Amino acid sequence: MGMDDWEIRWALLEAARQNMVDILDEELHLERLLSDLPDPDVIFGMVRNRLELPGDAPLPDDLSKDEIGDIVKAVNLSLGHAVSEAFKEAVKQPKLLKAIRNLFSTHPENFDSLGPEMSARYANVILDFSEKYVETPNWIKTQSLIIIADSLVNNITGPERSLLDARLEVNWGIYLWKCGDYSEAERKFQNANDSVTGLLNIPGRKADPAQAAMDIELHSRVLMGFGLLYGDLLEDKSKSIGFNKACLARLSLLEESYRRSKIKTSILNNLGVAYQRMAEQFPQDREKHLMEAALHYEEALSIARGIHFTKMVGWILFNAGEIYAFLGQFEKAERYSAESRRLFSVNVPNERGLSGVEMLDAVIAKEKKNYPVALDSITRSILLREKANEPRRIADALELRGDIHLAMGNQGKASENYRNAHAIYQSIGSEAGVRKMAGKLKAMD
């Protein structure tokens, strides 16, 4: 006898609760929570200095109010106001996450008895955390965070419910986009857009500056989601570019903050990617689109450096490096590769980032016609991407390996890589990827 809908939902919630407990056990450490900040090693040093700890001593799980105040001053002097504000937000996390851990103890079965106000507070904390967690190597578990937040949102009504529904949908959309479920991601982004558009049209919310800013920032995340999705899904990148530019226009209405600057760097990076793909689609305008991509990458890089967003600096460097390799500026491309590799090896160790550096090195070697080196680099990139389990990025790397084999005259191996990439693009519903691979395979007939 099969399970009914209620039993399925209950089983999913129970699994999510257990995953959430595991996540909290892993993440409830100050060092983990601060590692996403700019120049984390510098900040760790400031914390140890204030607490008079040895240089290699582990950080405590929490800090007192006085300790936080002193460290905030030190961060502000060394790294600037934006980073000190980000630090203040990050050090709140241990107390908030401990409160959620306690929530599971006091509500072992469900959250039905929790009032709307507390439900909204907990849901917002979990959604904030899920936005960061989806960028970690364990991102696949983000589903559990969103399921728990969803169960809390069910206790809420009114405009607060609409706002949280929109947050839930955009977080689902980003997660599903990373999973390669493009059709469902698109539906989630559309739901989020409908919810937040309704909120933006409520006169009372417009009159409250803090509430209006929150709604506009949320809308910018929705637009960013559409830009990411259509950049992968559609062959025509103009729709992706339009959404990314609309997102930048939304952000321009708000005061600058570290969080918003982070979003802006991501959008500018996404615009660079979109124009880079336009260069592939329209070879007659290749140089123009590559130069446009370079402009967006360099603006993103300048902002990321300014707010000490080290991980994003590394990411932008290997994307921009590809552009300079295509333009024949190999010295600059190699310099960007070396800096990105150092950041992802030493400053913010990250295998996903290293997979991008290996791909850049493959592009540089291919453009210089050093095909054996290119093949070694792209194979290392594929192995790292398979560990991260991100289908679209695996397919992109397989495509490049096919290009390298084709340049070497290995048509059989080129065809094998193109077919494997085609199968992945088809499985995730990427119209752009499917058409591109079909064109390359047809050209080989």
Per-residue model confidence (pLDDT) at position 203: 80
Average pLDDT (175-201) is: 93
Tell the residue number behind the tokens 């450490």, with chain if given.
29
CA distance 44 to 49: 9
Asked whether the predicted pLDDT for residue 349 surpasses 90, the reply is no
Question: What pLDDT was estimated at residue 286?
Answer: 95
Average pLDDT value for residue range 259-265:
91
Residue 42 belongs to some domain of the structure: yes
Residue matched to tokens 């699994």? 15
Domain membership flag for residue 29 = yes
- Is the pLDDT assigned to residue 426 strictly greater than 80? yes
- With bands split at pLDDT 50, 70 and 90, how would you rate the model's confidence at 115? confident
Q: Residue 417 pLDDT more than 90?
A: yes
CA distances, 224 to each of 186, 192, 238, 243 (Å): 12, 12, 14, 7
Determine, yes or no, domain membership for 307. no
* Dist CA 400 CA 89 (whole Å): 41
pLDDT of 1: 41
DSSP 216-262: HHHHHHHHHHHHHHHHHH-S-THHHHHHHHHHHHHHTTS---HHHHH
Q: Which of 9-23, 303-317, 398-412 has the highest average model confidence (pLDDT)?
A: 398-412
370-379 b/e (C-beta count within 10 Å ≥ 16 → b): ebeebbbbbe
Residue type, 3: M
Query: Residue 47: is its pLDDT beyond 70?
Result: yes
In-domain check, residue 132: yes
Chain segment 354-380, per-residue pLDDT in tens: 999 999 999 999 999 999 999 999 999
**Tens digits of per-residue pLDDT, 315-332?**
999 999 999 999 999 999
Min mean pLDDT across 3-12, 77-86, 138-147, 207-216 is at 3-12
pLDDT surpassing 70 at residue 55: yes
Range of the domain at 140: 1-156
- Looking at the chain, the whole-number percentage of residues with pLDDT higher than 90 is 53
At 8, the pLDDT band (50, 70, 90 cuts) reads: low
CA dihedral of 372, 374, 378, 380, whole degrees rounded to 10: 60
Q: Is residue 164 part of a domain?
A: no
255 versus 333: which is more confidently predicted?
Answer: 333
pTM of the model: 0.85
**Structural domain contains residue 313:** no
- Does 390 or 222 have the greater pLDDT score? 222
How high is the pLDDT of residue 244?
Answer: 97
Q: Is 2's pLDDT higher than 70?
A: no
The answer to whether the CB of 195 falls within 8 A of the CB of 187 is no
Report whether pLDDT(108) > 70.
no
- For residue 120, being part of any structural domain is answered with yes
Q: What is the mean pLDDT of the chain?
A: 89
Based on the structure, what is the number of domains in the chain?
Answer: 1
Q: pLDDT band at 305, cuts 50/70/90?
A: very high
Average pLDDT over residues 199-215: 84
Is 86 inside any structural domain? yes
pLDDT, position 9: 62
